[in-house]
């Protein structure tokens, strides 16, 4: 079945860039997503990328997709304390209302 892998923790200093990495196994993935979850809160859609793209930028967020290596990354520029959260990578396979497969989530820790 599909599998999505992420590092569990990432620690960065305030003002630096954060890069959160994700690998997936499903070669038929159509869309790949990044969600943010703050403690006790819901899942906030940050951004997504279609599988035929290799990069997408949205303000401080840059998503890079290497489809050959099945590697996805999320770069957050000028990381702020409000960015402290768990970041989930998720992939969707074929068409229809298929459910997303999530990674375990990366805890982003911001050092002052």
Partner 1 sequence: AAGVIQSPRHLIKEKRETATLKCYPIPRHDTVYWYQQGPGQDPQFLISFYEKMQSDKGSIPDRFSAQQFSDYHSELNMSSLELGDSALYFCASSSGGGYGNTIYFGEGSWLTVV
Please report, as ranges, the residues that interact with partner 1 according to CB under 8 A: 31, 33, 35, 41-45, 48, 50, 88, 92, 95-105
Q: What CA–CA distance (Å, rounded) separates 8 from 87? A: 10
Which lies closer to partner 1 via its Cβ, residue 89 or residue 110?
89
Residue 89's closest CA among 8, 9, 6? 6
- Please answer whether residues 40 and 86 qualify as being in contact, where contact means their C-beta atoms are separated by less than 8 angstroms: no
Q: How far is the CB of 40 from partner 1 (least distance, A)?
A: 9
- Which are the contacts of 27, defined by CB distance < 8 A and separation ≥ 6? 70
Query: Of 17 and 44, which CB lies nearer to partner 1 in the complex structure?
Result: 44
Query: Shortest distance, CB of residue 20 to partner 1, whole angstroms?
Result: 14
Least Å distance between CB 65 and partner 1? 14
């Amino acid at each position: 079945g599909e599998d999505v892998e992420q590092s569990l923790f990432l620690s960065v200093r305030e003002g630096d860039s954060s890069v959160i990495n994700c690998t997936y196994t499903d070669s038929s993935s159509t869309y790949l997503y990044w969600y943010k979850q703050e403690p006790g809160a819901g899942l906030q859609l940050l951004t997504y990328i279609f599988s035929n793209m290799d990069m997408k930028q949205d303000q401080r967020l840059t998503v890079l997709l290497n489809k050959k290596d099945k590697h996805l990354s999320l770069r957050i520029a000028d990381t702020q304390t409000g960015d402290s959260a768990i970041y989930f990578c998720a992939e969707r396979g074929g068409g229809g209302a298929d459910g997303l497969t999530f990674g375990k989530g990366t805890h982003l820790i911001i050092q002052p």
